[in-house]
A = this chain, B = another copy of it.
């Protein structure tokens, strides 16, 4: 249907975001049209500044304002334990639990056997170098519990064997608030195998 070019253009750009179809993009565009010029400009500016002002930590590949991220710079973080995640976006999820005070290492993706994406594009060699040079004692592999994440975890375990390290992964089981009736077979299977005694 006939619509102003500027509107069509924004709908097209917004539709490139994950999970946003043209309908939602149109809704966002019209929402912005109803806002003041200043409010709209704040969003445009924020996007414009994003990549300009965001760096990647040289040590752990987390997003950062400086050459090293706030975790790597923070003397209070436990340097003996590193949690390996697929993407920087996974870090807040771990941080929000307040159960981890170590450092991170961002792989920048996973091994994807079906797409021919091997480990060479991931920040794995940099992780090995980091381990060689540091006092790390435990590695938590926190890749996603799916085929690609597990494949990557298996590869990491193999690569890390040569070091005298404790290598762990996140526990599997029923999610809090979930319903046994709707839990998938793998989850229930893990929950059974790793069942805990009442104390």
* Chain A contact residues, CB within 8 Å of chain B: 1-7, 9-10, 12-14, 16-19, 24, 26-33, 37, 39-55, 63-65, 69-71, 74, 87-89, 91-92, 95-96
Contacts and interface: CB of A to CB of B under 8 A. Distances in A.
Contacts of A10: 46-47, 49-50
A16 to B, nearest CB: 7
Contacts of A5: 53, 65
A52 B6 contact: yes
A46 B25 CA distance: 12
A53 B4 contact: yes
Residue from A19, A30, A46, A64 whose CB has the most chain B CB atoms within 10 Å: A46
Contact of A4 (B32, B41, B63): B63
Given A2-B70, A2-B71, A43-B47, A17 B28 contact: yes
B17 A54 contact: no
Given A6-B46, A6-B50, A63 B33 contact: yes
